[in-house]
Structure formats: C-alpha cells, structure tokens
Amino acid sequence: DYELCDEWGHLYPVPREDLINLHREHLLHLLEMGDMEKASQLLQRIEDPGICLAISEQSLDQHPNLAASHFLADYLTAHFYASLTTARRNEIQALYIGSKVLLTLPELSRVNYFHLSSRPLLMLEQLLMNMKVDWVAVAVQTLHQLLAGQEIGFTVEDINNLLSKYAEKALNFPFTLKEKRS
C-alpha cells in the first residue's frame, strides 16, 4: 500500500504535509518490522532533504521501539547534524547513547528502563537504586566509550560524581557503632 501511494505521489501533486505523513508511516512500519535496510533505502530515495529531516524527526518523536529509536537517532546525527539546533542535537545524541546503554542490558529487563532511554544519567541512577551493580559496570563502560569527544549535556565527570554519591550512600550507616568497654 505504501508503494502504491508513493507511485501515486509521483504521478499527481501531493501536498508536502501528506507526503511527509505517508513516508513517516512507511518508515515507522519498516522499523517496527525490523527492516532497517529498507528503512535506510526509503530515506535515501527521498530527494528533498527538508522532507527527509521532517520525516526522521517526526518518526523519532513518535517514540518507536528501541531498535527504531537507535536507528533514527543515528541517522539524524549522521545526516542532519548541522541542521539541528544545539538543544535538539543534544537530545538526539542522549537518546542514541541511552538506547546504546539499553542494548547492553539483558533483553527482558530493557522494557523496565525504556522510558529512560533519552536520559542516560537517570537510567544509570535507576540501575544503581535497583542494585543492578553488574549492569551498571557494563553501562558505565559503554558510556565512557560513547562520551569520548561527544558533548550531549553531561560528561564523564557527571557519571563519576553519580557513582561517588551512591558509593557514599552505600557506606553510610544510619546508626552509630557502640564501643565495647573492657
């Protein structure tokens, strides 16, 4: 159906907004099906960069599944980095990094943290509060690799401060130890 609509659009004038909606829905369908190759081909076939940017951004704003969000964040960063505002660029990069961190978690647990995919530091804090120390170790290692040379609103220093804060809380005893008197 999408291909038929696309052909129809080549034969007759279609309003820009309708064309964007058609391609957005087609792209989201391909991404939900897990067909990243066809999704990439679809985006490459779109000649107008403004339409391609609008489709990609609107698709990302629809909060698709993890793999689709990762694909779209990567695509937008790779192809439209200069066209994005600094705030939007940071938001997309944070989503890319957050989705990358989510992919390091066990598959069955990803759904519990998906809502935090655009906020990697908050996801890390949630993992710490849930005592998922092994997962935190892998997440921190991934974050350190991804943050090298990136600017997305937080730094390696922020991660270290968060880890220090929770390490301090882990050692904080709510009672005083009594001395034994001989």
Both tokens of 130, joined, read: 């849930």
> What's the confidence (pLDDT) of residue 86?
85
- CA pair distance 127, 105, nearest whole angstrom: 10
Specify the pLDDT at position 182: 57
Full-model pTM: 0.75
Q: Residue 37: its pLDDT value, please? A: 92
Which residues in 21-104 belong to E strands, given as ranges?
none
Tens of pLDDT along 2-52? 778 777 777 888 888 988 898 899 999 999 988 899 999 889 988 889 989
CA-derived radius of gyration, the chain:
22
Task: Count CB-CB contacts under 10 A for residue 44.
Answer: 10
Fill in the DSSP letter of residue 18: H
Collect the ranges in the chain with pLDDT lower than 50: none
Domain boundaries, the chain: 1-84, 86-171
Report the number of secondary-structure helices (H) and strands (E) in the chain: 10, 0
For 151, the token pair is 């600017």
In angstroms, how far is CA 145 from the centroid of its own chain?
A: 16
